[in-house]
C-alpha cells in the first residue's frame, strides 16, 4: 500500500497521481445528531428530519444507508477500472452511526424497519460534527484489524442525492486522495447563487478526474457575494461530506482543537458497551468537549496551515442538504405552475408554492412563493424566501417550553406509539397503540391516576401485585402511586384509550423500575423525559 501522507506533509506529496493501491479499508460513518429546526413543524427535536419521511416513502437515514450500498458497488468498479486498485479494492465495514443518546431508540427502530445493520456510537449530549467525526475515528481504529488505518466516509444522515452512480464515482476518486493523506471534501459545483451553503474556494487541478486542491473554506455569503462566487467558477458548495483516514483526522483535530481531541479520547476510553453493541460515551468526559463543526474546527485552517492537506472532489449527483423548506421545494417534482403538493392539498391560481398536509385539507388560493406545512398540532405559513427564519420561531417555542418544539402529538416509542387527543388543566386523553410483543416499562406516577379502555386486541396488565388480561371493551383503573405495566401478548396491535387525571400531568412524572429498552429509571425533566 502507498505510504500514508500525514497532515503535516505538503499536498504535493503524491495526491493526484495514479499509483496502484492493493486494498482500501473503508468505514462509513453516518453523522445523525442534528435537530433540523428549519424544517419545523415536520421535524422536531425528538423527531429530526433524518428519521422522518421527508421526501418519499423512506426516512433520509434509510435513504443514506441504501445509497451507500449502491455507491460502494460503483466505487469498487471505478477503482478497478481506473487501475487505482487490484483485487479486493474496497473492504467496507458495517456503517457506524453517531447520534445522541436521546435518539437511540428512534434510530434503532428506523434501522430495524429498513432491515439495516449498523454499529452505534452514542453521545450523551450534542456537540456538533467535529466531535462526532472524532469519536467515529476512534471507534473505527478500535474495531480495525491490527495495523489497519481505515478511511472514514463521513456523511450527514439527512441529505438527498439523486444519482447514486455519480456519487459512487466521486467516492472512488475521493478514496484515492484520502489514502494518500488528504482530508477530502465532496464539493458541489453550484448551479445557482445559494446563500444557505458554505463554499469551498478551489485551487490547482489534481489529475484528470476533476479534483482540486482546497484553497480555503468560506462562510455562507450574502446574495451579491454568492453571485460573484458562482460567476468565478472557483467556488463549490460545501456538501458537509468528508473522506479521510482515521489517523489523519485524529492528528488534524489534535493539531487544530486539542481540547476536542482530549475530551473525545477520554469519553471513548471510558465508554461502556451495551448488549446491542452500542458504544455509550462517558458522560462527564464528553460534557467537557466544546461544540464545534468540522468546518470551523479543521477545514477553515486548510490553506493557511501547510501541515494540512485538503482536496475537493466534484460531486454532480443531484445533491441537496434539504436543510429548509425552500430546499425541499427545489428538490421536489413540481406542477405546471411550479407548485409542490404533499398530502391533501389543492392549489388554485397559485404559483411557485409548497404545501404539505399530514391530515387536514390544505387549500391555497392566489398565493405566490408561499410555504404551508400542516401537522396535527401546528401549522407553518411562511414566504419561501424567508424559510431560514423558521429557526427563530423554534427558538422562541423552546424558550416558552412549548411541547410543539420537541415532539409531535403522535409520539413514537420502541413498543409502539401514543397520540395525544385532548388535554386540559387536570386531564389528558391519549390513544395508545402497542405493537405485538410490545412491553411498556414497569412504572409509577406521583401525581396522576390512569384509566385504560381497550378498544382493540388484548392487554396484559400488571397492577401492584396482580396481573390480568383485558379484552376489547374492558377497562381498568391505575390509582396514583401504584406500580403498573402494560403489555401486548397477542399477534395483532393493541389499541386503548388512556385518560389521565391528577394535579400534574407532565411526562416527567414517571418513576421507572424495569425497562427492556434500557431507558433511564427516572425521567430527568419535562424537557428531556422519555415517556413510558
The pLDDT assigned to 380 comes to 97
Query: What predicted TM-score, i.e. pTM, was given to this entire model?
Result: 0.84
Q: Is 232 helix (H, G, I), strand (E, B) or coil?
A: helix
pLDDT score recorded for residue 524: 35
- 339: cell is 407548485
Taking only the tens of pLDDT, the chain with its 532 residues reads 222 233 344 333 333 333 444 567 899 999 998 767 899 999 998 889 999 888 877 899 999 998 888 888 888 777 665 555 544 556 678 999 999 998 888 898 888 878 888 999 999 999 999 999 999 999 999 988 777 899 999 999 999 999 999 999 999 999 989 999 999 999 999 999 988 889 999 999 998 889 999 999 998 999 999 999 999 999 999 999 999 999 999 999 999 999 999 999 999 999 999 888 899 999 999 999 999 999 999 999 998 888 899 999 999 999 999 989 999 999 999 999 999 999 999 999 999 999 999 999 999 999 999 999 999 999 999 999 999 899 999 999 999 988 899 888 888 888 999 999 998 889 999 999 999 999 999 999 999 999 999 999 999 999 999 999 999 999 999 999 999 999 999 999 999 999 999 999 887 889 999 888 776 543 433 333 344 5
Domains, the chain, in order of start with CATH, read 24-323 (3.90.550.10), 330-395 (no CATH), 409-514 (2.60.120.10)
The x, y and z cell numbers of residue 465, run together, are 401485585
Helix, strand or coil, per DSSP, at residue 253: helix
**Cβ atoms of residues 64 and 129 within 8 Å:** no
Question: From CA 503, how far away is CA 424, in angstroms rounded?
Answer: 11
Residue burial 118-141, b: 16+ Cβ < 10 Å; e: rest:
bbbbbbbebbbbbbbbbbbbbbbb
- As a whole number of angstroms, the distance between CA 479 and CA 330 comes to 53
C-alpha cell at 359: 391530515
C-alpha cell, 153: 466516509
Quickly list H helices, 21-150. Answer: 60-81, 104-113, 129-143
Query: How far are the Cα atoms of 23, 106, 408, 468, 504 from residue 430, in angstroms, in the given order?
Result: 55, 20, 13, 22, 16
Beta-strand pair 199-205/235-245: antiparallel
Q: Which residue has the cell 405495566?
A: 485
Pick from 337, 238, 246: which is nearest to 296 by CA? 238
C-alpha cell at 12: 504535493
What cell was used for 368? Answer: 405566490
Supply the DSSP symbol for 331: H
Strand order of the β-sheet with 410-413 is 410-413, 416-423, 427-434, 494-502, 448-456, 475-478
Widest CA span of the chain, in angstroms?
A: 76
pLDDT at position 82 is 56
Angle between helices 104-113 and 60-81 (to 10 degrees): 60
Looking at residue 295, its pLDDT comes to: 94
Amino acid at each position: 500500500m502507498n505510504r500514508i501522507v500525514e497532515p503535516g506533509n505538503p499536498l504535493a506529496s503524491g495526491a493526484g497521481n495514479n499509483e496502484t493501491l492493493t486494498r482500501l479499508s473503508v468505514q462509513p460513518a453516518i453523522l445523525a445528531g442534528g435537530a433540523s429546526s428549519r424544517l419545523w413543524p415536520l421535524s422536531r427535536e425528538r423527531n429530526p428530519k433524518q428519521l422522518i419521511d421527508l421526501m418519499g416513502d423512506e426516512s433520509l437515514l434509510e435513504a443514506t444507508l441504501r445509497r451507500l450500498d449502491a455507491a460502494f458497488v460503483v466505487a469498487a468498479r471505478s477503482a478497478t477500472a481506473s487501475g487505482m486498485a487490484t483485487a479486493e479494492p474496497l473492504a467496507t465495514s458495517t456503517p457506524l452511526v453517531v447520534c445522541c443518546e436521546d435518539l437511540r431508540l428512534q434510530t434503532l427502530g428506523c434501522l430495524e424497519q429498513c432491515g439495516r445493520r449498523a454499529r452505534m456510537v452514542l453521545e450523551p449530549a450534542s456537540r456538533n460534527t467535529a466531535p462526532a467525526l472524532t469519536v467515529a475515528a476512534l471507534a473505527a481504529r478500535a474495531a480495525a484489524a491490527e495495523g489497519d488505518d481505515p478511511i472514514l466516509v463521513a456523511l450527514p444522515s439527512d441529505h438527498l442525492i439523486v444519482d447514486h452512480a455519480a456519487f459512487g464515482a466521486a467516492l472512488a476518486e475521493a478514496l484515492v486522495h484520502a489514502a494518500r493523506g488528504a482530508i477530502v471534501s465532496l464539493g458541489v459545483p453550484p448551479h445557482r447563487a445559494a446563500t444557505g451553503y458554505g463554499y469551498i474556494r478551489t485551487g490547482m487541478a489534481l489529475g484528470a478526474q476533476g479534483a482540486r486542491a482546497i484553497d480555503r473554506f468560506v462562510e455562507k455569503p450574502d446574495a451579491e457575494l454568492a453571485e460573484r462566487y458562482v460567476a468565478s467558477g472557483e467556488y463549490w458548495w460545501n456538501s458537509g461530506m468528508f473522506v479521510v483516514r482515521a489517523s489523519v483526522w485524529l492528528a488534524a483535530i489534535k493539531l487544530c482543537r486539542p481540547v476536542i481531541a482530549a475530551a473525545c479520547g477520554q469519553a471513548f476510553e471510558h465508554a461502556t458497551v451495551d448488549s446491542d453493541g452500542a458504544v455509550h460515551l462517558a458522560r462527564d468526559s464528553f460534557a467537557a468537549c466544546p461544540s464545534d463543526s468540522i468546518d470551523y474546527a479543521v477545514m477553515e485552517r486548510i490553506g493557511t496551515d501547510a501541515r494540512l492537506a485538503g482536496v475537493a472532489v466534484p460531486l454532480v449527483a443531484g445533491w441537496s442538504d434539504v436543510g429548509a423548506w425552500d430546499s425541499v421545494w427545489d428538490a421536489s417534482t413540481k406542477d405546471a405552475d411550479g407548485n409542490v403538493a404533499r398530502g391533501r392539498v389543492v392549489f388554485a391560481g397559485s404559483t411557485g408554492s409548497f404545501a404539505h398536509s399530514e391530515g387536514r385539507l390544505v387549500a391555497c388560493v392566489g398565493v405566490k412563493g408561499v410555504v404551508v406545512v400542516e401537522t396535527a398540532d401546528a401549522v407553518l405559513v411562511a414566504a419561501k424566501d424567508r424559510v431560514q427564519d423558521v429557526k427563530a420561531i423554534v427558538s422562541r417555542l423552546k424558550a416558552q417550553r412549548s411541547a410543539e418544539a420537541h415532539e409531535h402529538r403522535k409520539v413514537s416509542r420502541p413498543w409502539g406509539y401514543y397520540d395525544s387527543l385532548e388535554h386540559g388543566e387536570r386531564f389528558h386523553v391519549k390513544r395508545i397503540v402497542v405493537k405485538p410483543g410490545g412491553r411498556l416499562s414497569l412504572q409509577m406516577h406521583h401525581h396522576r391516576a390512569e384509566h385504560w379502555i381497550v378498544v382493540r386486541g388484548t392487554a396484559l396488565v400488571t397492577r401492584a401485585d396482580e396481573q390480568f388480561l383485558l379484552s376489547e371493551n374492558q377497562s381498568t383503573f391505575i390509582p396514583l402511586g401504584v406500580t403498573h405495566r402494560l403489555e401486548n401478548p397477542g399477534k395483532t396491535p393493541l389499541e386503548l384509550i388512556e385518560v389521565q387525571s391528577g394535579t400534574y400531568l407532565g411526562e416527567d412524572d414517571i418513576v421507572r423500575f424495569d425497562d427492556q429498552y434500557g431507558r433511564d429509571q427516572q425521567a430527568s425533566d419535562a424537557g428531556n423525559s422519555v415517556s413510558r
